[in-house]
Amino acid sequence: MTVVDTVRTRRPSGPLRLSHLDALESEAVHIFREAAAEFERPVLLFSGGKDSIVMLHLAAKAFWPERVPFGLLHVDTGHNFPEVLEFRDRAVAEAGVRLEVARVQDYIDDGRLRERADGTRNPLQTVPLLDAINAHRFDAVFGGGRRDEEKARAKERVFSLRDEFGQWDPRRQRPELWALYNGRHRPGEHVRVFPLSNFTELDVWQYIEREGIELPSIYFAHQREVFRRGGMWLTAGDWGGPKPEETPEKRSVRYRTVGDMSCTGAVDSTAGTVQEIIAEIAASTLTERGATRADDKLSEAAMEDRKREGYF
């Protein structure tokens, strides 16, 4: 379903009563419009994952009938899932927006970065991200982070200031009373903006269902050859798995979140529809990152440490 279809089919026929999804959508649209009005060169981080797809859908609503007035940026680790990259390119073409891709592989090839011993490239995204922000002089970067995902993200503001080195200092956060957002920053600094901050994983899926938003097939249950490592089901690939002692097996799985193949785990699932996924998430006691992201398990403060260095 397109943005035009949802706008036309959801005109109220009586007194307007906002559902919780309406309220979240209204807040996100307000954030997009505030940032577009306040900053000169915003960009939206777009990986082809569900949160970035929902962000692009909300941005299209915020500025409809005009096109989205800013481009997209993806930091490609080189270990992304092919299904997600194919969907990313198709979604960008359909939206008619510009996509900039910063590639970790380019930094490894010319010696600016080195491969990690564990094969994961997620921590290596920070330098290409900051270089792309500086090269294109982006002053606002929309991200799909949500407060329910992880404790470091839970305490971050909607407008989150980054210093001239791209680093986050929790002590410099600004109050956001009455949904008033302060985007002031010095030359060289920029602001990360999180329109989905108050969405939960369940909200995201309920919104996807309501809006009829298309997603990569990897989010739905399918048969895949996986192997067990660190308590997670990982997909074999050029990144270095499986090891000789790790035995691949075919299982019915799906992905709750997508990122670098080396640190993103699948979950056992038979949920093949959005409705079935909603029921599955409603019964879950683990957050999506807690259940499926090895990079968040490196230490208790793994996410906060990376955010301080300039990560998403």
Q: What is the mean pLDDT of residues 61-90?
A: 95
pLDDT at residue 310 is higher than 90: no
pLDDT at residue 295 is higher than 70: no
Structural contact between residues 75 and 283, judged by C-beta atoms closer than 8 angstroms? no
**Strand, coil or helix: 140:** strand
Structural contact between residues 53 and 151, judged by C-beta atoms closer than 8 angstroms? no
Name residue, tokens 């989010």: 219
Q: Are strands 140-142 and 99-103 parallel, antiparallel or unpaired?
A: unpaired
pLDDT at 296: 47
Least confident of 20-24, 89-93, 142-146, 289-293: 289-293
pLDDT at 288: 75
pLDDT in tens, 121-158: 888 999 999 999 999 999 999 999 999 887 777 788 99
CA 53 to CA 58: how far, in whole Å? 9
pLDDT at 253: 96
CA 308 to CA 165: how far, in whole Å? 10
CA 257 to CA 150: how far, in whole Å? 13
Give the pLDDT band (50/70/90) at residue 297. very low
* Contact residues for 77 (Cβ-Cβ < 8 A; gap 6+): 104, 121, 122, 124, 125, 259, 260
Structural contact between residues 193 and 31, judged by C-beta atoms closer than 8 angstroms? yes
pLDDT at 298: 47
Structural contact between residues 246 and 227, judged by C-beta atoms closer than 8 angstroms? yes
pLDDT at 6: 55
SS3 annotation, 25-72:
HHHHHHHHHHHHHHCCCEEEECCCCHHHHHHHHHHHHHHCCCCCCCEE
pLDDT at residue 289 is higher than 90: no
pLDDT at 236: 84
Q: Can you list the domains of the chain with their CATH numbers?
A: 20-202+301-309 (3.40.50.620), 217-297 (no CATH)
pLDDT in tens, 237-255: 777 778 889 899 999 999 9
Q: How many helices (H) and strands (E) does the chain have?
A: 11, 10
Phi, psi (deg, nearest 5) at residue 267:
-120, 145
SS3 annotation, 238-299:
CCCECCCCCCCEEEEEECCCCCCCCCECEEECCCCCHHHHHHHHHCCCCCHHHHHEHHHHCC
Write down the mean pLDDT value for the chain. Answer: 88
Instruction: Give CA 76 to chain center in angstroms.
Output: 13
Neighbours of 276 (CB within 10 A): 15
CA 75 to CA 124: how far, in whole Å? 10
Q: What is the mean pLDDT of residues 213-228?
A: 95
pLDDT at residue 280 is higher than 90: yes
pLDDT in tens, 208-217: 999 999 999 9
**Which two structure tokens, joined as six digits, stand for 34?**
């505030």
Give whichever of 6-20, 89-103, 229-243 has the largest mean pLDDT: 89-103
Percentage of the residues of the chain whose pLDDT score is greater than 90:
65
The structure's pTM equals 0.88
pLDDT at 64: 96
Q: Is the peptide bond before 195 cis (omega within 30 degrees of 0)?
A: no
Of 230, 260, 234, 264, whose CA–CA distance to 249 is shortest? 234
pLDDT at 204: 97
pLDDT in tens, 148-195: 887 777 788 999 999 998 888 888 888 888 889 999 999 999 999 999
Neighbours of 142 (CB within 10 A): 29
Give the pLDDT band (50/70/90) at residue 102. very high
Give the pLDDT band (50/70/90) at residue 292. low
* Contact residues for 191 (Cβ-Cβ < 8 A; gap 6+): 35, 39, 139, 140, 141, 159, 160, 161, 162, 183, 185
pLDDT at residue 70 is higher than 60: yes
